[in-house]
Amino acid sequence: MQQVAGVGRAQVKDWNNRDIDCAKSRGGVTVTAHPYENLIRTGCKPWPPAEIVQKLYQSRQIRAFSGNDETVCTSGLGFYCDLQSIHSEDAITWSVFGTAARAPQSQLEAWIADLLLLLDLPRMTPSGAELFLWRRIPHPDNLVPGGPEIDIGISTANGLILGEAKWQAGVGVAQGKNKDKDQIQLRGEFLRNYAPKFYPSCSEYVVLGISLFEDAFEDTTPEGVAFRCVTWDQVCALPSHPCSEELGRYVNWKKKHTNMANKPDARDGL
């Protein structure tokens, strides 16, 4: 991080070698002055998409900043948003999957085909692939609205993947009606109990975990539901992604500025 003389702000080079203003929390986490500076936007017009607007809420993490850092991190929107954090799992989720969702269908299906190969899902076809982000499903314990938020959903002609995205955070536990389940189990139970009724054309049901770390997830899915986990490095290395070259730079930039002192079981916080 380079301090700009006489201006009272700091700058870093982004993944495209552009200077961007940034700040640091008291915990040492780098954040951008504006959330859009933490996101890949190539090929995404008009901007911003509804998925990003959904995430532009005021964060309680503003308490982690003080002085000039607080001034900088609120200068973009007038308030601090979690999408500004280098540790934001939502930022990389959009930059990988949101950009792919905006690509022409032929490019999307080619990339999904490579992703299915990476995940070793030979029976699932990329045909008719659709991507969705941050949609809530009915709660698998009682079918009330506002159930678990699905970070990444991939539906195809014969399969459904529900993805849980992490950066350094661990899997959320004490979930469900009785607080005795984790995030992976809840998604697996939804797929086992309700996906065959909701998605009658599908025969392949998968819970996917993506993290910076290889060992971030434990398989707690019920019988009949597949579980896969991969790293962001592996996903970003797939050459068929419509922003593949930029993605490689982006994930390396994100890792370079990540506070690796955070442990995998800590929240992606500040």
What does the block give as tokens for 216?
A: 């971030």
Model pTM score:
0.93
Rounded mean pLDDT of the chain? 93
pLDDT tens-digit readout, 92-121: 999 999 999 999 999 999 999 999 999 999
pLDDT at 45: 93
pLDDT tens-digit readout, 6-59: 344 689 999 999 999 999 999 999 999 999 999 999 999 999 999 999 999 999
pLDDT at position 253 over 60: yes
pLDDT at 6: 39
Three-state secondary structure readout of the chain: CEEECCCCEEEEECCCCCEEEEEECCCCCEEECCHHHHCCCCCCCCCCCHHHHHCCCCCHHHHHCCHHHHHHHCCCCCCCCHHHECCCHHHHHHHHHHHHHCCCHHHHHHHHHHHHHHCCCCCCCCCCCEEEEEEECCCCCCCCCCCCEEEEEEECCCEEEEEEECCCCCCCCCECCCCCECHHHHHHHHHHHCHHHHCCCCCEEEEEEEECCCCCCCCCCCCCCEEEEEEHHHHHCCCCCCCHHHHHHHHHHHHHCCCCCCCCCCCCCC
Q: Cα(64)–Cα(85) distance, rounded to whole angstroms?
A: 12
- Between 8-17, 187-196, 207-216, the lowest mean confidence (pLDDT) is in 8-17
Q: Cα(227)–Cα(206) distance, rounded to whole angstroms?
A: 6
pLDDT at 260: 82
pLDDT tier for residue 2 given thresholds of 50, 70 and 90: low
pLDDT at position 175 over 70: yes
Q: Calculate the CA dihedral of residues 59, 61, 63, 68 and round it to 10 degrees.
A: -90
Q: Cα(176)–Cα(76) distance, rounded to whole angstroms?
A: 37
What separation, in Å, do the N-terminal and C-terminal C-alpha atoms of the chain show?
17
